[in-house]
Structure 1
Amino acid sequence: MYKATMALVQSQDWFYISVVYGFNKPVERRLLWNDLRTLYGLLGSDAWLLLGDFNSIRTLSDRVGSVSFDGIAAHEFNSCLEDIDMEDMASKGFLFTWTNRRGGLGFVKSRIDRALINSRWQVQYPESEAVFQAPGMSDHCPIVVTILRQQSRRIPFKFFNFWMSHDKFSSLLDNAWSGVVHGNPMVALSHKMRNLKFLLKDFNKEFYSDIQKRVSLAKEELDTLQCQCFSLPFDPALHEMEKASLLRYTTLVSAEEEFYK
């Protein structure tokens, strides 16, 4: 037995949800497995979520208690899921989703409730998840599915003027521009610009990553040297170190200010 519903997301992406309740007897569940195979052929390549009480486990580890393991029934369930391109959705909460609520030797708990997705769903909603919550008054855990689109992590490239004040910037620029690139001038320019972008990213990571921490450490170093200069006012080497430290600190502060603009 199953119930199927269909929804439209953001006016463009269709997905299907089928809610399942499997019969208790393995022989009767074979009709469900065949119906799911037929439904798979009708849905094509659209995203599909299949969830509910399948009344069947997939592996021996899906059950704890006195009931014996039906390997044939598990094989039929797994074969169906393989045929319809379904895998368990990423999940949290209770592993075993049903219990007979008996104590002692008669206690049984099983993972017979599942949220399953096809490969198209994984591509379309890679950050979705199922949470199996506490059963409360029921003997089954309720399933709460959260559907999230993958958030774009692409950060646009940004050129910072403070890079040009670094003493290694000129040599980096020369290295990027001196390489030989074959092709017409526009192709050569495009390749060199792309190469420069990668070099600048590494350059920024080496000298300016975690800018707040770098500013904090530079300030600590400057404070220490200035205290020493007050204690030893006639030490020229110490004053030169204080000057260099002040330059590093002011450079990093300027970089931090520009970074957060």
Structure 2
Amino acid sequence: MWMQQWGHMPMEYGLPNVSDHSPMFIKLTRLQQHTRVPFKFFNVWVEHREFLYTVEMRWHSVKNKEPGKNLWLKLKGLQSNLKVLNNQEFRATTQKIEQARADLQHIQESMLHGYTNILQAQEKITLQTLEKWSTIEENIMKQNSRA
């Protein structure tokens, strides 16, 4: 880890003056690396209602005579579609969980002041939403930890 971040640092040696040791000076600057983040497939995408449609549309859109190149083009095109799906649906899961918890707290506080069937239905829907996003976040974290 240290060598990856700081292994390229220039070192200068000072004069020993009256000592028998020379001081070393290391200039600590970070090397700017412009690396692309590799594409990662998240299993939670499979459960999305538009996943199969997205895959089918991309799979039937590419036609190439070379089978290997055909497969590569299909997968490469699918990558951009899945990134869009991820950005639209699965970004900011933590914020969605926090919002669902805040909504649930508000509903349950309202139920303390006056219980209605509407509040009960809202509570049920909010609990389902909270469970959905918690499960999605847990699955993403589990998959990231295994990578």
How far off is 1:147 after superposition?
Answer: 4.9
1:177 aligned onto 2:71: no
Residue 127 of structure 2: which of 246, 251, 261 is its match? 246
Aligned to 2:78: 196
SS at match of 1:253: helix
Aligned to 1:167: 49
Indicate the structure whose relative CO is greater, using CA pairs within 8 Å and at least 6 residues apart: 2
Give structure 1 regions of 4+ aligned residues with deviation exceeding 6 angstroms.
Answer: none
- Name the CA distance, whole Å, in 2 between partners of 1:222 and 1:172: 33
Question: Structure 1 residues 240 and 163, CA, compared in 2 at 3 Å: closer, same or farther?
Answer: farther
Question: Structure 1 residues 247 and 198, CA, compared in 2 at 3 Å: closer, same or farther?
Answer: same
Count of residues in correspondence between the two structures: 119
- Name the CA distance, whole Å, in 1 between partners of 2:127 and 2:120: 10
- Name the CA distance, whole Å, in 1 between partners of 2:70 and 2:124: 43
SS at match of 2:80: helix
- Answer whether contact 1:162 1:254 (CA < 8 A) is retained: no
1:217 partner amino acid:
Q
SS at match of 1:182: coil
- Name the CA distance, whole Å, in 1 between partners of 2:136 and 2:62: 32
1:210 aligned onto 2:54: no
- Name the CA distance, whole Å, in 1 between partners of 2:122 and 2:52: 25
1:220 aligned onto 2:113: no
Give me the TM-score of the superposition, normalised by structure 2: 0.64
Q: Which has the higher helix share?
A: 2
Aligned to 1:119: none
Aligned to 1:232: 115
- Name the CA distance, whole Å, in 2 between partners of 1:226 and 1:175: 44
How far off is 1:229 after superposition?
Answer: 5.0
- Mark the runs of 5 or more structure 1 residues left unpaired by the alignment: 1-8, 16-143
- Mark the runs of 5 or more structure 2 residues left unpaired by the alignment: 1-6, 11-25
Q: Percent identity?
A: 25
Cα-to-partner distance string for 1:180-207 (whole Å, 9 max, x where unaligned): 3223222111111111111111111111
- Name the CA distance, whole Å, in 1 between partners of 2:107 and 2:55: 34
- Structure with higher Rg: it is 1
Give me the TM-score of the superposition, normalised by structure 1: 0.39
Q: Which has the higher strand share?
A: 1
- Name the CA distance, whole Å, in 1 between partners of 2:56 and 2:111: 39
CA RMSD between the two structures: 2.9
